[in-house]
Structure 1
């Protein structure tokens, strides 16, 4: 027969074993939860880090492209400004060089070719006004008298800023034709620019 003391000891041992198992389960569960929380935290940290890196990359990439674009635009603007300055200087040089040819035969031929066009431009309007500078007056007057027939010509020696050539108007001032050297240069401004630009591109290349 089992004594009361023995039953009490067995029951106590049972409770202790059960308590130990329950405690172990709690500790194990706590460890699992702790591990899960650590893993979740690490995953969140990795994701956040990746997000920050991606955001930083996109920001840097965007800023980089913006800086490059601004640099290209600035460089292009400076290039255009420099080309325009060179073109203006080049046209001024052409004006100065043109003066050297104003006493040569090629200039006389240019004047004659221009005067020959007057009947085509003015048609039946036989009264014309010619604006010419003082230096070219005698030469242009002589060519007009030898080429034009039936025109009543009035001369004004006040062609302002003309290095050469002349301007013709009808008597009413309705038709206007510019045969000045300046206008010849302006008319070829685009061609001069394209030629000069092509030359500069070759020099750079």
Structure 2
């Protein structure tokens, strides 16, 4: 027969073995949890780092686009300002050049054509005033009596500093025909600007 002491010894060994197995399992479980936590922490850190980098990239990309857009707008504004300045200079150059044509055959032909347009503009308004510079006065009076024989015409001076041309107005001051050189340039300003812009674009290209 097995004695009580032997039974206790066997049972004790069994308990010790079970205790070691349980302890080992507990330790292994703890190690696994620790590894999982370390891994999860590492992933979280990587994700946070990636998120920070992405936010930084978006900020840089946004600022880059903003800077580029601002640069384009500034360049466009400066270009428009430069074109406007050049156009104004060109307009002034045209006016200065126009002074050289005053008194020429081309200029006098222009004055006659202006007088010929009066009937189609003033129609039945027969009492008119023609404003003209003194150097052109004799020529305009002579041709006005020929071109506009049915009109009662009063002559007056153009404002001081006017390059040339004429202004025709009915005595009721309802219709005003501005045939001055300045207005000729002004009414063709868009055409001049388009031509100049085309020239500048070719120069840039």
TM-score (norm 1): 0.94
Higher alpha-carbon deviation: 123-132 or 28-37: 123-132
1:160: Cα distance to partner?
A: 4.0
Does 2:51 correspond to 1:51? Answer: yes
CA distance in 1 between partners of 2:6 and 2:120 (Å): 143
Contact in 2 for aligned 1:159/1:166 (Cα 8 Å): no
Does 2:131 correspond to 1:145? Answer: no
User: Tell me, which stretches of 5 or more residues in structure 1 are unaligned?
Assistant: none
User: Tell me, which stretches of 5 or more residues in structure 2 are unaligned?
Assistant: none
CA distance in 1 between partners of 2:98 and 2:158 (Å): 20
1:45-77 CA-partner distances (Å, limit 9, x unpaired): 222122222222222111111111111111111
1:174: Cα distance to partner?
A: 0.7
* Residue in 2 that maps onto 1:116: 116
Contact in 1 for aligned 2:131/2:157 (Cα 8 Å): yes
5 Å matches for 1:21-36?
21-36=21-36
User: What is the SS of the residue equivalent to 1:173?
Assistant: coil
User: What is the SS of the residue equivalent to 1:136?
Assistant: helix
CA distance in 1 between partners of 2:97 and 2:180 (Å): 15
* Residue in 2 that maps onto 1:82: 82
Cα RMSD for the two superposed structures: 1.5
User: What is the SS of the residue equivalent to 1:129?
Assistant: strand
Q: How many residues align?
A: 205
Contact in 2 for aligned 1:101/1:107 (Cα 8 Å): yes
Contact in 2 for aligned 1:167/1:179 (Cα 8 Å): yes
* Residue in 1 that maps onto 2:60: 60
CA distance in 2 between partners of 1:17 and 1:65 (Å): 71
5 Å matches for 1:12-27?
12-27=12-27
CA distance in 2 between partners of 1:136 and 1:63 (Å): 65
1:113: Cα distance to partner?
A: 0.6
Higher alpha-carbon deviation: 133-142 or 57-66: 133-142
CA distance in 2 between partners of 1:165 and 1:42 (Å): 88
1:142-200 CA-partner distances (Å, limit 9, x unpaired): 22123221221111113344101011100111111000111111111111110000000
CA distance in 1 between partners of 2:103 and 2:29 (Å): 111
1:15-72 CA-partner distances (Å, limit 9, x unpaired): 2211111111111000110111111111112221222222222221111111111111
